[in-house]
Structure 1
Amino acid sequence: MKLTEKEIEIIEILEKDARIPTETLAKMVSLSVDETEAILKKLEETKVIVQYTALVDWRKVDGHEGVTAMIDVKVTPKRGVGFDEVAERIYRFPEVKSVYLMSGAYDLSVVIEGRSMSEIANFVSEKLSTLDSVISTTTHFILKKYKHDGTVFDQGDQDHRIVMAP
């Protein structure tokens, strides 16, 4: 789908802040509110804008820290459907947050969330590795998020000025 410069500009602004009021968005792109709303409706109907989400730092919520893991999965693709069929079987599990087709040593990268490392281990051993097409898995646990989707976590009150020395 070919988009206009204004449509791309709107998408880029919303990608950084999906909560921006339509009136402010319209001013930023030099359009009327009605024109901006029409573009938003078009982008939503054509699924260019798939969803508006909130980025949450769960470590700051007591009892909801959870565990996130990235799992490299090597699979045998099926004739006629390639990797799509096994990817679909994997992304249907509720624990799975993302599935990506990758280049390199592994075929799929799967991101899952659980309440504990043992919950993730059970998912891998009982659900993921038992799928017919799965040859092997390698699980990486995320220990700390520094930056996610362009947002830096825990910047705190640090002084970000550049130190100048004589």
Structure 2
Amino acid sequence: MENKKLEVLRLLEENGRMDVSTIAKMVDEKEKKVQSMIDELEEENIIVSYAAVVDWSKVNEREGVTAMIDVKVTPQRGVGFDEVAERIYRFPEVKALYLVSGAYDLSVVIDGNTMSEIANFVSEKLSALDSVISTTTHFRLKTYKHDGVVFGDEDDDDKRIVVAP
């Protein structure tokens, strides 16, 4: 892939709302060429979606629960992990699913309204799949950084005490 397209991808990944004229200036290309690159990247499913990073802790009406579930599975002959992964990602509760290295095979991220709702998902849907050997569930307690965006106070002043000789 050419360098200009990579630059465009990096800029859009950092800020999906950046307009074409700004991107064109930053990569030193004409707007039509940049728009053509973006259209091509979307058609090839390299750019899959545009999303906002939301700090849900600041939204009083929404107090959901997010869980990361480590799943150990028996891979299927001929298709490996793909078949069981497809069965898992089709559940509407699943927000993300990753094949990972280490003690577990899959990492599933789900959102729910309560811990009980997540427990029901794990016990009734996920653990009930034939290929699933075991699960370990972790609950998100606080978000410090997500998709490169640091969460927290708007006041980013350095709070360290100045020490002078």
When the two structures are superposed, what TM-score results if normalisation uses the length of structure 1?
0.95
**How many angstroms does 1:164 deviate by?**
4.6
Deviation string for 1:8-51 (max 9, x for gaps)?
00001111101011111111111111011000011101111111
Q: CA RMSD in A?
A: 1.2
Q: Percent identity?
A: 62
1:138 alignment counterpart: 136
The aligned counterpart of 1:21 is 19
Q: Residue in 2 aligned with 1:100?
A: 98
The equivalent residue for 1:53 is 51
Equivalent in the alignment of 2:64: 66
Deviation, structure 1 residue 162: 6.7
Q: Which of these residues, 60, 72, 75, is aligned with residue 73 of structure 2?
A: 75
Which of 101, 122, 125 is the aligned partner of 2:123? 125
SS of match in other structure, 1:154: coil
Which residue in the other structure is 1:91 paired with?
89
Moved over 2 A (4+): 160-166
- What is the CA distance between 1:161 and its match in structure 2? 7.2
How many aligned residue pairs are there? 164
